[in-house]
Chain A
Amino acid sequence: MTEPEIISVLRPDGTADPSLDPGLPDPELLSLYRHMVLLRAIDEKAVALQRSGRIGFFVPSTGQEACSIGAGHAVRDGDWIFPAYRDHGVGLMRGYPLAALVGQILGNTTDATRGRQMPNHWCDRSIHLVSVSSPVATQLPHAVGAAYAAKLRGERIAVLTTFGDGGTSTGDFHAAMNFTGVFRLPVVFFCENNRYAISLPVEDQTATGTLAEKARAYGLPGVRVDGNDVLAVRKVVADAMARSRAGEGGTLIEALTYRLGPHSTSDDPTVYRSEEEVAAWRGKDPIRRFAAFLKGRGLLEDPAAEEEGAKETVRRAIEAGEGAPPVPLSSMFEDVYAEIPWHLVEQRDSLLSGKG
């Protein structure tokens, strides 16, 4: 069987392949770049916050910015997003405010979700960004259900769900792909193959040569894209979303990328991968690659200044969020049910009165 080709738009010489270039207007191109830079600045700052004990945990996406930002740009108003914990970039690209993102990390009263979940578990109903779960790939069947509901109501929308290579091993992945094929639903499965599920290399995760080819078993098209090429990701995801919106069903996209940092702030990647491997991928940094393209187009003069600006933006957002009061104790008992039942009233009152 021939492997599906890997779609790239940005060529080694820094220009875009004219046959595939999505032809985005200049301000859009700059927006892609600035969001990637912002995403990395958030990562760097959040990891530093964790190291200094100011937040509990963080999952960085450094190295995968082209995936999150490119895919996020392909989402339109009305579409739904079911992201994995590493894809804060998709939300950010969709207009999830930086202040809300920072608030969630801090888990204090600036957190719209009231300190309920550890960092990296965002949501925002107003943009159909559904609450992130830690268990891998549980969101995939949810994407299917949301797509079904939209189809039933005749809405011409698409649903984007993102996950890692490890996610393709779960039962939920297979259930979701199968249902999408059978019901011909508008779900775009965006798999970021960053080569590792914590320590497990993708070669030990699956015996198929590609992840994209798994789509065949479910009657869906499978596409491979260069995940460090933001224009290619944008194009491939936008095409798949358009197909879905047109009623032609779902797609599995495999984006080939690399997680440059640790799996999370609790992980030590040096025990399972080599420095040379990381260095080779550092050379394919998606931000630098896109910067070169923008420079060639005369759209970007000073990448260093952009990076400084993003850092400053993040620093200010954290300054604004830190120091807010902790979430109140009574909030622990709210939102468990639509109305608070007697047993939680009793437990709340005993905790608040200090008698429990």
Chain B
Amino acid sequence: MAEVTLIKAVNDALATEMARDPSVCVLGEDVGRDGGVFRATEGLLRRFGPERVIDTPLNEGGILGMAIGMALNGLRPVAEIEFSDFIYPAFDQIVSEMAKMRYRSAGQFTAAVVVRAPSGGGIKGGHYHSQSPEAYFIHTAGLVVVMPSTPSDAKGLLASAIRGEDPVIFLEPKALYRTVKGEVPQGEHLVPIGKGRIVRGGADLTLVTWGAMVPVAEKAAAAAAKERVDVEIIDPRTLWPLDIGMIEASVNRTGRAVVLHEAPRTCGFGAEISALIHERCFLHMKAPVARVTGFDTPFPYALEKSYLPDPERTLRAIRASMAF
């Protein structure tokens, strides 16, 4: 196995799936000759040609609308949105069309499109290049929402998404694109959709987090260990449908939960996880669920370090939960 970056793993998944299945196509702005603004699609044009690696005009609604039609007619399109912040012109196509195709046709049609979009902050991108929009899509019936946090998961989850029968919003934590490296199996590699990952086992408190916050959680857990608090970290990987069983089992055992995400707090996915835990684990709980999140402000350029949750803030929530 080779040690590769997360972005390379994404590229590997695309190349492997395109080689395996001639109906897999990639489309988006700059995905062809430029290899994508983050180089996720580098080399694909040369290998698979312009019919399957499609440089489109600048129109996200057009990209998604076209991808839906491609999927309806037998292709497996993987659409790239350059930054998840630019997905909103395609919002109507995603939430009203792609997500609802199966339901409104009573299963006769499905728009199994994969939409890849770099997401989250930490790269000095200001608010138009840093937002975390997962909650909008989780709120939309019919969509699968995935966010990997390791190169191996990125490759395996993307391959599963491409092979799946449902539309997938595949959010890639861009802050991790080149900052994490990991072993990734060569050739075909699948990680199942809907299954969480225990990043680190622990007995005292369950910390649920995803994307670029996983390394933050690991630092916080290491610091908590010095204070003799044994934190279990769960990365759901597929945000929706959620591996609630894994979270439920963990919280029933630890009796404590903290949810950590960089998206704004109000109506963020942390709110839903908190509600689910309170509904399902109430009798086992020793403290209310705590949330560590971004703030309910637009993403600020100059103050991004203060906006994003860090190990300190996470550790304070862990301590507060333990002291409750």
Residues of A within 8 A of B (CB): 56-57, 107-108, 111, 114-118, 121, 133-136, 166-167, 169-172, 197-200, 204-206, 266-267, 271-272, 326-327, 329, 331-333, 336, 343-344, 347, 351, 355-356
Residues of B within 8 A of A (CB): 29-30, 32-35, 37, 55, 57-59, 61-62, 85-86, 88-89, 124-129, 265-266, 295-298, 300-303, 306-307, 313, 316
- Min CB distance, B274 to chain A, in Å? 16
Of A56, A107, A170, which contacts B89 at CB under 8 A? A170
For the complex with contacts A57-B124, A167-B58, A343-B296, 20 further pairs of A-B residues with Cβ separation under 8 Å are A56-B124, A116-B126, A116-B298, A116-B301, A118-B128, A134-B85, A134-B128, A135-B86, A136-B86, A166-B58, A169-B58, A198-B29, A198-B30, A198-B37, A200-B55, A271-B33, A327-B302, A333-B295, A336-B296, A344-B296
Give Cα distance in the complex from A343 to B124, angstroms. Answer: 26
Give Cα distance in the complex from A344 to B264, angstroms. Answer: 11
Give Cα distance in the complex from A48 to B137, angstroms. Answer: 40
Q: Is the CB of B303 within 8 A of A135?
A: no
Which residue of A is nearest B88, CB measured?
Answer: A135
Q: Is the CB of B295 within 8 A of A332?
A: yes
What residues on A are CB-neighbors of B303 within 8 Å? 115, 327, 329, 331-332
What residues on B are CB-neighbors of A170 within 8 Å? 58-59, 89
What residues on B are CB-neighbors of A133 within 8 Å? 128
What residues on A are CB-neighbors of B29 within 8 Å? 197-198, 200
What residues on A are CB-neighbors of B37 within 8 Å? 198, 266-267
Considering the complex of A and B, which 3 residue pairs feature the smallest CB-CB distances, nearest first? A115-B302, A118-B126, A134-B128
What residues on A are CB-neighbors of B55 within 8 Å? 199-200, 204
Give Cα distance in the complex from A278 to B265, angstroms. Answer: 47
Can you name 5 A-B residue pairings with CB atoms under 8 Å? A115-B303, A117-B126, A136-B86, A199-B30, A327-B302
Known A56-B301, A272-B34, A332-B295: A205·B129 in contact at CB below 8 Å = no
Q: Is the CB of A206 within 8 A of B57?
A: yes
Q: Is the CB of B85 within 8 A of A356?
A: no
Known A198-B37, A271-B33: A326·B89 in contact at CB below 8 Å = no
Give Cα distance in the complex from A133 to B55, angstroms. Answer: 24
What residues on B are CB-neighbors of A206 within 8 Å? 57
- Min CB distance, A186 to chain B, in Å? 26
Which residue of B is nearest A351, CB measured?
Answer: B306
What residues on B are CB-neighbors of A116 within 8 Å? 126-127, 298, 300-302
Known A115-B300, A271-B35: A356·B59 in contact at CB below 8 Å = no
Known A200-B55, A327-B303, A355-B316: A332·B297 in contact at CB below 8 Å = yes
What residues on A are CB-neighbors of B89 within 8 Å? 135, 170-172
Q: Is the CB of A204 within 8 A of B57?
A: yes
Give Cα distance in the complex from A343 to B268, angstroms. Answer: 14
Give Cα distance in the complex from A332 to B128, angstroms. Answer: 16
Give Cα distance in the complex from A118 to B126, angstroms. Answer: 5
Give Cα distance in the complex from A271 to B301, angstroms. Answer: 29
- Min CB distance, B85 to chain A, in Å? 7
Q: Is the CB of A200 within 8 A of B128?
A: no
What residues on B are CB-neighbors of A267 within 8 Å? 37
Q: Is the CB of A271 within 8 A of B34?
A: yes
What residues on B are CB-neighbors of A343 within 8 Å? 265-266, 296
Which residue of A is nearest B127, CB measured?
Answer: A117
- Min CB distance, A258 to chain B, in Å? 18
Q: Which one of A200, A272, A327 has the greatest number of beta carbons of chain B within 10 Å?
A: A200
What residues on B are CB-neighbors of A198 within 8 Å? 29-30, 34, 37
- Min CB distance, B308 to chain A, in Å? 12
Q: Is the CB of B57 within 8 A of A200?
A: yes
What residues on B are CB-neighbors of A136 within 8 Å? 58, 86
Q: Is the CB of B306 within 8 A of A171?
A: no
Give Cα distance in the complex from A157 to B86, angstroms. Answer: 32
What residues on B are CB-neighbors of A135 within 8 Å? 85-86, 88-89, 128
Give Cα distance in the complex from A347 to B265, angstroms. Answer: 10
- Min CB distance, A333 to chain B, in Å? 6
What residues on B are CB-neighbors of A351 within 8 Å? 295, 306
Known A197-B29, A200-B57, A205-B58: A326·B124 in contact at CB below 8 Å = no
Q: Is the CB of B296 within 8 A of A347?
A: yes
Q: Is the CB of A332 within 8 A of B300?
A: yes
Give Cα distance in the complex from A166 to B59, angstroms. Answer: 9
Q: Is the CB of B307 within 8 A of A332?
A: yes
Of B61, B86, B266, which contacts A171 at CB under 8 A? B61
Q: Is the CB of B58 within 8 A of A200?
A: yes
What residues on B are CB-neighbors of A134 within 8 Å? 85, 126, 128-129
Q: Is the CB of A169 within 8 A of B62?
A: yes
Q: Is the CB of A347 within 8 A of B295?
A: yes
Give Cα distance in the complex from A114 to B301, angstroms. Answer: 9
Which residue of B is nearest A197, CB measured?
Answer: B58
Of A108, A121, A333, A356, which contacts B126 at CB under 8 A? A121
Give Cα distance in the complex from A356 to B295, angstroms. Answer: 11
Which residue of B is nearest A348, CB measured?
Answer: B295
Give Cα distance in the complex from A259 to B133, angstroms. Answer: 32
Give Cα distance in the complex from A111 to B88, angstroms. Answer: 28
What residues on B are CB-neighbors of A336 within 8 Å? 296-298
Give Cα distance in the complex from A230 to B126, angstroms. Answer: 33
Give Cα distance in the complex from A343 to B271, angstroms. Answer: 15
Give Cα distance in the complex from A206 to B58, angstroms. Answer: 10
Known A134-B129, A135-B85, A347-B296: A115·B58 in contact at CB below 8 Å = no
What residues on B are CB-neighbors of A332 within 8 Å? 295, 297, 300, 303, 306-307
Of A199, A327, A356, which contacts B313 at CB under 8 A? A356
What residues on A are CB-neighbors of B306 within 8 Å? 329, 332, 351
Give Cα distance in the complex from A115 to B296, angstroms. Answer: 17
- Min CB distance, A118 to chain B, in Å? 3
Give Cα distance in the complex from A134 to B266, angstroms. Answer: 25
Give Cα distance in the complex from A171 to B85, angstroms. Answer: 16
What residues on B are CB-neighbors of A272 within 8 Å? 33-34
What residues on B are CB-neighbors of A271 within 8 Å? 33-35
